[in-house]
Amino acid sequence: RSKLFGRGIFSFYDEKLDKELAERSILTGELRKAIDEEQFKLFYQPQFASDGTTLKGYEALLRWVHPTLGLQMPDKFIPLAEETGLIVPLGKWVLHTACAQAASWPEELSVAVNLSAVQLRQQDLVEDVARALDVSGLSAYRLELEITESMLMSNTTQITQTLGRLSAMGVRIAMDDFGTGYSSMAYLWRFPFDKLKIDRAFTESIAVDSKVDAVVKSIISLAHSLQMQVNAEGIETMDQLEALRSLECDEVQGYMLGRPVPEDQLVHKRESKDAGSSSITAIKPFDV
């Protein structure tokens, strides 16, 4: 390649890199301050039984209420929080806040908290979960921890121990984004999963592509034969809901059923047509 052309490219990338590094260090500083000042908020997305109306609980989804930029989604700051280690204090805040808020909900409802790989490698994770339950008074079985398969690839022994201890405490473990990693299958029997969450990438093509339906059907039956529940993420249409119900999926979650909302906007309403039933229905489950 010509010398001139090559140099041009290099100086262009150098400048870009400098700018990115500068932005990154500003953002890191802001993130550190945000953790000190608790500029975060948990949104909650409802999870329903596959009838689409019986509320089972909520998944906690983190938002950063940035003082000047406004509400920031996790993809904007979680990768940096993970790289800098700030996810450890931030993850603790999420865990403690989610447990405290869930403790005030009706007892039938559970809360799902996303864990980062960095948190899973912390020696004090199990103690911290125990502390969050103890302080909040939330029963262990009402807490579900979501981990992704990519987290399981390294240091298997330590992770097996950690998940085993959490499981023994009664906390439920869910595998998030199932089917998107390299070797989802290999992890299924090695770790004590209670639930498998089928990634939105599958849900998207359900009821459109019969091959996808066949794959999902076999994932569900595999999970059931391993005593795991199945949640399908990202339900956006009635067709998807109906197809998943007929495939005997246990739990559904998605924009059609309910978007993530701040804690103070949650309505846990008891099902009206059957007064004796203890099941709970969100007020307008199909409201988009």
111 binds, among ligand C2E, Mg ion, none (CB under 5 to 8 A by kind): none
215 vs 174: CA distance, rounded Å: 20
Contact status: 114 vs Mg ion (CB under 5 A) = yes
The region, left, alpha or beta by phi > 0 then psi within -120 to 50, assigned to residue 47 is beta
Pairing label, strands 143-148, 172-178: parallel
Say how many residues make up the chain: 288
Pairing label, strands 143-148, 110-114: parallel
Q: Which of 31, 34, 62, 243 binds ligand C2E (CB under 6 A)?
A: 62
- The CA–CA distances, whole Å, from 28 to 82, 157, 185 equal 11, 32, 36
251 binds, among Mg ion, ligand C2E, none (CB under 5 to 8 A by kind): none
Contact status: 203 vs Mg ion (CB under 5 A) = no
Contact status: 176 vs Mg ion (CB under 5 A) = yes
Query: Among residues 45, 44, 47, which one has the least CA distance to residue 280?
Result: 47
Determine contact, residues 67/61, Cβ cutoff 8 Å: no
61 binds, among Mg ion, ligand C2E, none (CB under 5 to 8 A by kind): ligand C2E
Identify residues 91-120 at the interface with ligand C2E (CB under 6 A). Answer: 91, 94, 114-116
238 vs 53: CA distance, rounded Å: 13
Nearest approach, Cβ of 232 to ligand C2E (angstroms)? 10
Contact status: 254 vs ligand C2E (CB under 6 A) = yes
Angle at 151 between CA 257 and CA 200, to 5 degrees: 25
133 vs 141: CA distance, rounded Å: 10
Stretch that binds ligand C2E, among 49-57, 72-80, 160-168, 268-276 (CB under 6 A): 72-80
Helix axes 87-102, 74-84, angle to 10 degrees: 120
Residue with Cβ nearer ligand C2E (45 or 281): 45
Contact status: 176 vs ligand C2E (CB under 6 A) = yes
Contact status: 253 vs Mg ion (CB under 5 A) = no
Residue with Cβ nearer Mg ion (62 or 282): 62
Q: Which of 146, 149, 213, 250 binds Mg ion (CB under 5 A)?
A: 146
260 binds, among ligand C2E, Mg ion, none (CB under 5 to 8 A by kind): ligand C2E
Footprint of ligand C2E on this chain (CB under 6 A)? 45, 61-62, 73-75, 78, 91, 94, 114-116, 146, 176-177, 200, 233-236, 254-255, 260
